[in-house]
Structures are given as structure tokens and as C-alpha cells.
A and B are shown apart, each in its own frame.
Chain A
Amino acid sequence: MIESAVEILAWVLLGAGAIFSVIGGIGMLRLPDFYTRMHAAGITDTMGAWLILAGLICLAGLTLVSAKLALILFFLFMTGPTATHALIKTAWYAGVKPMLYGPTSTGPADKPEGSSPSKP
């Protein structure tokens, strides 16, 4: 009974992770801007990866395999936000501007609020 419950939980987590992953991929392709695409990549890097790894942990049980999976989960937990932070900071320094109002907006809204790039 307990085992079947854990197995059902594992399948639910795996299915949810797969759905989140595909949603993030579609957003990666469809969203109009670099920063919004980073939002889509964040979905796959957090919910997709964590749910799939949690489902595999539930599937493996308490073994060495689940310890390795937890280690992978920990590394993704640590390195993903760091890489995202470095990427977005480098893009901001290199002059990639966020799209504020629309794909063809050239109004005064295109100035990001002034002072932030000069003092990080």
C-alpha cells in the first residue's frame, strides 16, 4: 500500500516535471525578449528539473541511487541561479535592453531607469 502510494507520487512528480519542461521550452521559443526568455528558462531549470529529480528519488527509494540523485539536485540548486545571475549581469553590461512596452516601442519608456548600470 505504501509502496504503491510512493509510486503514484513518483509518477505524478515525473509527469508534472515533464509538463513544466515542455512549457518552458515553448516559452523559450515564443517569448519576444531576452529577459522574458530567461524567465522561461527559469521554469525548466527550477520546476522541471526539481520535479523530475524528485520523482526519480521517489522511484529509487532509500538507496545509494537516491543519494546520487539528491546530490545532482543539490548541485543544480546551487549552480543554476549562479549561472543565471552571471548571464543576466553580463547581458546588462553588454547593453541588451529589456523590451518594456512592445516590440516596436521607441518612446520614452525605452530608457531603463537611469542610474542602475553605472554602480553595480
Chain B
Amino acid sequence: MLAFVTIAILLTMALALIRALRGPTVFDRILAVSMISTKTTLLIAVVGFLFGRPDFLDIALLYALINFIGSIAVLKFYKYGSLGLASHLEAVPGHLEAVPGPVNAPTASGSPGADKPAGKPTP
């Protein structure tokens, strides 16, 4: 049964990996990679039970935290263009208002080639 759960988690990771490879926008890729990271945490825990070594749970615990920090770091870099300090971000006048709203792209973003982050510096 634990092997079945392991196979299910691996299948989910494979599906998310396909989406990460062909996702049209950057955010699809970030979403898929975040999902793969959560599944990796679960996979480490389940494999630890499967092999009878629950020491793996420490690694899973660490991985859950690093996953969150990495995802937030990528998103902050995308939004502000740097990973600078908070004082540096406040020194930029109107750093929140400078970010444009959703542009009027007539095509839906589900179509391939809709990868236009509206003049933001791409990571």
C-alpha cells in the first residue's frame, strides 16, 4: 500500500513536470515546481516509512521549509526585480504603483505564446 502511494506521488510529479516543461507562462512553471516540491516532501516521508527508516522525516521537514523560501524568493525577484533589502525597496519611490496592472492582451493566456510579463524584468 505504501508502494502504491509512492507510485501515485511519482505519477503526480511526472504530470506536474510535463506542465513545468510546456507551461505557457512563467507562473505555470513556478506553480508546477512548487507542486513538485510539496510532492517531494511527501515522497521523502512515505519512502522513509516504506524502507523502515523514519529518520528521513528530518529531511522532509527541512525540505518543506526550503521549498517555501525558494518559492517566495523567486516571486519577490520577479515582482521587484531584485532581492534587495526592505530599505532599498522603500527607497524606490512608488515601487508598488510602478508595477502595471493587467495589460489588455486580447488573446486568452491559456494559448501558447502568451508569455508576456508586461515589461517586467524577467528572471
Q: Interface of A with B (CB < 8 Å)?
A: 11, 14-15, 17-19, 21-22, 24-26, 28-29, 32-34, 37-38, 41, 44-45, 48-49, 52-53, 56, 59-60, 65, 68-69, 71-72, 75-76, 79-80, 82-83, 86-87, 90-99, 102-106, 110-112, 117-118, 120
Residues A87 and B102 in contact, CB atoms below 8 Å apart: no
Residues A103 and B12 in contact, CB atoms below 8 Å apart: no
Residues A75 and B64 in contact, CB atoms below 8 Å apart: yes
Complex CA gap A106/B111 in Å reads 12
Residues B108 and A99 in contact, CB atoms below 8 Å apart: yes
Complex CA gap A29/B28 in Å reads 10
B91-111 near A? 1/0 per residue, CB < 8 Å? 000001001111111111111
Q: How many A-B residue pairs have CB under 8 A?
A: 181
CB-CB under 8 A from B39, the residues of chain A are 21, 44
Pairs A-B, 3 closest by C-beta atoms: A117-B101, A25-B15, A18-B8
Residues B64 and A79 in contact, CB atoms below 8 Å apart: yes
Output the nearest chain A residue to B118 by Cβ-Cβ distance: A95
Residues B15 and A28 in contact, CB atoms below 8 Å apart: yes
Residues A97 and B30 in contact, CB atoms below 8 Å apart: no
A81 to chain B, nearest CB (A): 11
B33-50 near A? 1/0 per residue, CB < 8 Å? 011001101100110010
B120 to chain A, nearest CB (A): 6
Partner of A87, one of B8, B27, B46, B108: B27
Complex CA gap A16/B11 in Å reads 15
List 17 additional contacts besides A83-B75, A96-B102; criterion CB under 8 Å. Answer: A18-B8, A21-B9, A25-B14, A29-B16, A45-B38, A52-B46, A69-B45, A69-B57, A75-B64, A87-B31, A87-B34, A87-B71, A93-B100, A94-B27, A97-B102, A117-B101, A120-B96
